[in-house]
Amino acid sequence: MADTASDTAAGMPDFSKLSNDMYQQWEQAMTAWWDQVLDSPDFLKATGQNLSQVAHARKQYEQAVDEGLHKMHLPTRQDLVRVARIATLLEERLLQMEDRLLAMGDQLDVLEKETIQARVEAAEARLEMREKLAELQARLDAGEATAAPATATATPRRRSTAKKPARSSKTE
Amino acid sequence: MTDLTAIDQTIELVRYLAERPVDRARTGQTPHAIIHRQNKACVRYFHPRGGAKHAPLFVSMPLINTWTVFDLMPGRSVIEKLVAAGVPVYLLDWGRPGVEDQPVTMVENIDGILMRALDRSRRHARAHLGTDVFDVLGYCVGGTFLSIAMARHDGAARRMALLAAPIDFHKSGRLSTWAQPDSFPLDDIIDGFGNFPKELMRSSFAWLRPMGQLTKYKGLAERIDDDGFRELWAAMEQWNGDNVDFPGETYREYVRRCYFDNALMRTDGDWELGGRRVDLSQGTIPVQVFAAGGDHIAAPAACRGIADVWGGPVQTMVVKGGHVGVCIGNSFPKALLAWIEQGGAPTASTGAVAEAK
């Protein structure tokens, strides 16, 4: 680089820059030319025809090889493809069964959670009921306690018999 | 530019190429696990570093190349950046179809392989991450297929992003000029070759920009003393040369409907897959389109086409890079992460688990 700089300073052309510029101009020209060629309908049609012929030749070659193998009682490419395809379809069937099993598992999960939720709700309802009963019992006891001094002297025997059923219902 | 003279560059270039760097390049190095397989396809799961901070992302890769373009090399990997940001990634790798896959149809690929892969990813995420709310991303043909799938199964994902995914095929540049029914012998090729051959695919892409074959070597020569660039060049070359066959019947339907008929842009068309009409207006989830500014395969105009037909809101953004370069630059990963962050933290499951709650 230092040499080039000194050459330029001495009035010599910068060959590095010159070659770079030339390359860029050439690249631009080539790109424009290729663009014209690659977008040209004639070129595309010719390429398509060429591709088509290659594909036909390939098909005929494959058929010839298959016929040869068939005559020798050997499995052909088509046979192998068919077997591999069957394996793929079997895998698909298995995966479909797996899909169904997973979907059933999902449904069971939902059912299980719904069942657990229902049982929790039932238990909560029973607890609530028990608390209400306890509250009622407490209120009844309190009511009887206030009523007791008034009736104690008059009917002592009836009071003791009246409390027994209430006590038994509490334990239930 | 380097301090080397043109002769030194050429000598270095020849010496470097003689070492066969393309054969030695290693791609797809981010650790992952395969969680599902079907035929040649599989789902690769990349666990987020430091736990999941975002909703899982399901990625549908193109069928014409390998998935490693999203994980080319450390520092140049979309997957690596996503994983580092706490995004669980489920990547659909379509695999390498063989001759036996010639009869595989488009509906088998979309409703069978793609949707099942998404289902298995969702189940995996539900079991391991506690969420099955998914965002989906499709790249190139994988994006085209994904958009068809999301329109047919609306609500299967929360949001969809498309990267360089053509929808308005008649605006996809030189490829649409080439893929004309009167000049492109589609039926002859599939009947003759079975699958669309990878060699033909590779040369087609090379001929899209013939001078590109020369300029890539010129570019390498100019930066031949840059180790990082050389490594990236070799990895890109390996990926570029690693095309896969396109399943024949799928290719026949794809080219006929998308390139010949431009059927995705019609909401009143007669294209049916598995007895159901293909109609993108049936999809309603929000869509984010990322188009690459310098894309010569899926031009931005072709990617923006979805905005005219999709049934839900569509936003478009042009990111820096070409069709492939967009995956190795910083512009797209940054934009993608911003889009992912808009989705917020991963939310609880909405599937069977959530229904039971």
pLDDT in tens, B86-115: 999 999 999 999 999 999 999 999 999 999
Give the integer Cα–Cα distance in Å for A43 and A48.
8
CATH topology (fold) of B27-176+247-356: Rossmann fold (3.40.50)
Q: Which pLDDT does position A150 carry in this prediction?
A: 65
Is residue B317 helix, strand or coil?
strand
Q: Which residues of B touch A77 (CB under 8 A)?
A: 99
Q: Do B98 and A92 touch (CB under 8 A)?
A: no
| Residue B117 pLDDT > 90 | yes
Residue B118 sits at the vertex; the CA angle it makes with B117 and B122, to the nearest 5 degrees, is 115
| Closest CA of chain A from B352, distance in Å | 6
Give the integer Cα–Cα distance in Å for B63 and B65.
6
| Closest CA of chain A from B133, distance in Å | 16
Give the integer Cα–Cα distance in Å for B145 and B277.
14
| Closest CA of chain B from A74, distance in Å | 18
Q: Is A167 exposed, middle or buried (0-12, 13-18, 19+ CB in 10 A)?
A: exposed
pLDDT in tens, B269-279: 899 999 999 99
Q: Do B3 and A1 touch (CB under 8 A)?
A: yes
Give the integer Cα–Cα distance in Å for B161 and B141.
13
Q: Which pLDDT does position A152 carry in this prediction?
A: 61
Q: Do B356 and A41 touch (CB under 8 A)?
A: no
Mean pLDDT, chain B, as a whole number? 91
Q: Which pLDDT does position A9 carry in this prediction?
A: 54
Q: Which residues of B touch A107 (CB under 8 A)?
A: 352
Q: Which pLDDT does position A4 carry in this prediction?
A: 47
Q: Which pLDDT does position A155 carry in this prediction?
A: 56
Q: Which residues of B touch A102 (CB under 8 A)?
A: 119, 123
Beta-carbon contacts of residue B81 (< 8 Å; ≥ 6 apart) = B333, B337
What are the backbone angles phi and psi of residue B164, rounded to the nearest 5°?
Answer: 45, 45
Q: Which pLDDT does position A120 carry in this prediction?
A: 95
Give the integer Cα–Cα distance in Å for B180 and A45.
10
Give the integer Cα–Cα distance in Å for B218 and A26.
14
What average pLDDT does range B226-236 have in this prediction? 89
Residue B258 sits at the vertex; the CA angle it makes with B252 and B264, to the nearest 5 degrees, is 140
Q: Do B215 and A27 touch (CB under 8 A)?
A: yes
Q: Which residues of B touch A14 (CB under 8 A)?
A: none
Q: Do B188 and A99 touch (CB under 8 A)?
A: no
Query: Model confidence at B348, in pLDDT bands (50, 70, 90)?
Result: low
Q: Which pLDDT does position A148 carry in this prediction?
A: 73
| Closest CA of chain B from A9, distance in Å | 19
What average pLDDT does range B243-264 have in this prediction? 96
| Closest CA of chain A from B4, distance in Å | 8
Q: In B265-330, which residue ranges form alpha helices assigned H by DSSP?
A: 300-304, 306-309, 325-328
Q: Which residue among A38, A81, A110 places its CB closest to the CB of B355?
A: A110
- Tens digit of pLDDT per residue, chain A (172 long)? 444 444 455 567 777 788 888 888 998 999 999 999 999 999 999 999 999 999 999 999 999 999 999 999 999 988 998 999 999 999 999 999 999 999 999 999 999 999 999 999 999 999 999 999 999 999 999 988 888 776 665 555 554 444 445 444 444 3
pLDDT in tens, B33-88: 999 999 999 999 999 998 899 999 999 999 998 999 999 999 899 999 999 999 99
Q: Which pLDDT does position B171 carry in this prediction?
A: 94
Q: How many residues does chain A have?
A: 172
Q: Which residues of A touch B123 (CB under 8 A)?
A: 102
What average pLDDT does range B186-213 have in this prediction? 92
| Residue B357 pLDDT > 50 | no
Q: Which pLDDT does position A151 carry in this prediction?
A: 66
Q: Which residue among B104, B183, B353 places its CB closest to the CB of A48?
A: B183
